[in-house]
Amino acid sequence: MKNSKEGFTIVEVLLVLAVMALIASISIPAVNTVLSQAKATKIISDMRNIQSAVIQYSMYSSDASSLSMENLVKEEYLTNEIPNIQIKDETLQVEIYYNSNKPDIKYFKKIDPNIEEYDGKPSIRVLKK
């Protein structure tokens, strides 16, 4: 009589699980970095759209002192308000900044070296005329 076994031994199963764990431990940080860079890219794109809307608003609006995200949407310079991005209207400039701590500022600077910091947050300035 022949003794025939089918299936895997416990050692083979544990070896496969160990290899899978090793691959996961290597790839998860890389995936998180890519996701953070993608989110930062989206935010920079949104900030640049707001920058363009602010410039157009200041060119065509008779009352540039009423600059706000709500007015940009109301006057149809933007299609909707963008969450976590704020506009601060100062005397000589308009500051557009991302009001959250994630992703880290280093991802923004890696994507666009022209991004500045406003209170430790990524920002874009628009000078008033």
Three-state DSSP state, 128? coil
> How far apart, in whole angstroms, are the C-alpha atoms of residue 58 and residue 113?
26
Range of lowest pLDDT (4-8, 29-33, 43-47, 94-98): 4-8
pLDDT at 36: 92
pTM of the model: 0.78
pLDDT surpasses 90 at 89: no
Q: Which amino acid is at 27?
A: S
Token pair recorded at residue 6: 């089918």
- pLDDT (tens digit per residue) in 110-125: 999 999 998 889 999 9
> How far apart, in whole angstroms, are the C-alpha atoms of residue 57 and residue 124?
16
> How far apart, in whole angstroms, are the C-alpha atoms of residue 70 and residue 77?
10
